[in-house]
Amino acid sequence: MKVIILAGGWGTRLGRLTDYIPKPMVKIGGKPILWHILKIYSYYGYTDFVICLGVKGEIIKDYFYNFELKNNNFTIDLSDKSIIFHNENKKENWRVTLIDTGLNNLKGSRIKQVEKYLDPEINMLTYGDGIADINIKELVAFHKKHGKIMTITGVHAPARFGEIVEKNSQVLSYMEKPQTSVGLINGGFMVFNNSFLDLLSIDEKCDFEKGPLEQIAEKGELMVYKHKGIWECMDHERDVDYLNYLWYSNKAFWKIW
């Protein structure tokens, strides 16, 4: 089973952080969020990834091509260019396929373009900016049990702001809004049968959520796996600061490995 990761968007809401690098390469704890996503999947034994590249995709290619150099200390002998890695970091057993799917292509087009790299029956899909303490094996088991075309993971959006209760402009109470009070949204971590790919095209305007997902929902072929744990999306600079705070405070909920 392959894992598609959508990593080609512009990431404009991250402002200056994506001036020179693509959004999935913005770092949490010194590692790109893309690395964290791969760690989540590989913890559950899913180590074969297909990454849909677009904006600044060459930076992601460079990262994986030089993965050992970027993630380990080493000694280099300049006389013959031989290198000895000191392997402070665990060697990953990931297989990563990197495919350029266009600068401005919508998600449906990107997914369709990598069809030939996928397994023939069931594959997984997620976004390049979301992390969670999700049990991937339970997600896959849920998908296989219901037999529908696609499963999305429903998560509660993070409560960014406190909730004000007022009357005639007088504040009666102010409280932090719990995640469970917010409706479910699609947090990524999806599983699909390959028949879904028939609804997509390589046309750059082929979307994923608008159109294909709506169509299978209308036919009763879209199911939601309700994730009861924690999920976060790296959408703004404040999210980057918050996720780094969690990492360096040993509170990184997604660090299940």
Tokens linked to 211: 């159109």
pTM for the model: 0.89
Distance CA 56, CA 185 (A): 28
Residue 108 in domain: yes
By the 10 Å C-beta count (0-12 exposed, 13-18 middle, 19+ buried), 234 is classed as buried
Residue 43 in domain: yes
**Could you tell me the residue range of the domain that residue 127 belongs to?**
3-248
Residue 132 in domain: yes
Sequential pLDDT tens for the chain (257 residues): 999 999 998 877 777 888 899 999 999 999 999 999 999 999 999 999 999 999 999 999 999 999 999 988 999 999 998 999 887 667 899 999 999 999 999 999 999 999 999 999 999 999 999 999 999 999 999 999 999 999 999 998 776 544 544 455 443 444 445 555 556 888 999 999 999 999 999 999 999 999 999 999 989 899 999 999 999 999 899 999 999 999 999 999 999 99
| CATH at 94 | 3.90.550.10
Residue 238 in domain: yes
Distance CA 89, CA 110 (A): 32
Total of domains in the chain: 1
Residue 257 in domain: no
Residue 253 in domain: no
Residue 255 in domain: no
CB proximity list for 197: less than 8 A, separation 6 or greater? 111, 112, 115, 118
CB proximity list for 110: less than 8 A, separation 6 or greater? 6, 8, 52, 54, 101, 102
Residue 165 in domain: yes
Distance CA 102, CA 113 (A): 10
Neighbours of 82 (CB within 10 A): 9
